[in-house]
Chain A
Amino acid sequence: AQTVTQSQPEMSVQEAETVTLSCTYDTSENNYYLFWYKQPPSRQMILVIRQEAYKQQNATENRFSVNFQKAAKSFSLKISDSQLGDTAMYFCAFLSGYALNFGKGTSLLVTP
């Protein structure tokens, strides 16, 4: 079974600063997909960014980018120019086959 580890239960960053959330995973597969989901206090799960394992180029979506290290099985999320609305739980997820395997999440607080 694939496991996803988020080693930072809580993090805090000041508005306009940059923060990096860590994620590692364990798999013996070569083709898979990785995701970061955001869950704000509204509880809605929102996709932040997606990475295909066969692509060497790191995915970027506006202020969000990833550092995907396939050999190290690492998939960190960088949030640039943090905004108050980025306050949320962030979940790293691994997809291979039929369903997502989620990490336990990192609670991010953006302060003024």
Chain B
Amino acid sequence: DAEITQSPRHKITETGRQVTLACHQTWNHNNMFWYRQDLGHGLRLIHYSYGVQDTNKGEVSDGYSVSRSNTEDLPLTLESAASSQTSVYFCASSESLVDEQYFGPGTRLTVT
């Protein structure tokens, strides 16, 4: 069955370190998204991609970057982790922009 996976599921890192969160989907979806979830804020969009070599900034993109070298993967990089980036991160994908987004299981990131 097609799926979307994220790794690691849990990560603890120190302030200032570079961290990369992986997202891999096997639906062959062109559209992929990264969200963060914080108490009192719901989910907020960080970056999104419509296809290979395409990346766009979302609502809360400062301090994050993504790259899309193939259809299946959209890794999220925190260039220099900050305590404010402690959060749960969700990756999602969709076949078209008006379709359901399928979410990964999430990565809980703690920056100490």
Residues of A within 8 A of B (CB): 4, 33, 35, 42-47, 50, 91, 95, 97-100, 102-105
Partner of B33, one of A4, A35, A99: A99
| A35-B100, A45-B90 known; A99-B48 Cβ under 8 A | yes
Closest-CB distance, B7 to chain A (whole angstroms): 15
Residues on B with beta carbons closer than 8 Å to the beta carbon of A43: 88, 105-106
**Scoring B residues 27 to 60 as 1 if CB is less than 8 Å from chain A, else 0, what string do you get?**
0000001000000111111001010000010100
Closest-CB distance, B93 to chain A (whole angstroms): 12
**Scoring B residues 84 to 98 as 1 if CB is less than 8 Å from chain A, else 0, what string do you get?**
000010101000011
Q: Number of contacting residues on B, CB 8 A?
A: 21
| A98-B48, A99-B58 known; A45-B41 Cβ under 8 A | no
- Would you list 18 pairs from A and B whose C-beta atoms are within 8 A, ordered by A residue? A33-B98, A35-B100, A43-B88, A44-B106, A45-B43, A45-B90, A45-B103, A47-B100, A91-B43, A95-B98, A98-B97, A99-B33, A99-B45, A102-B43, A102-B44, A104-B41, A104-B42, A105-B42
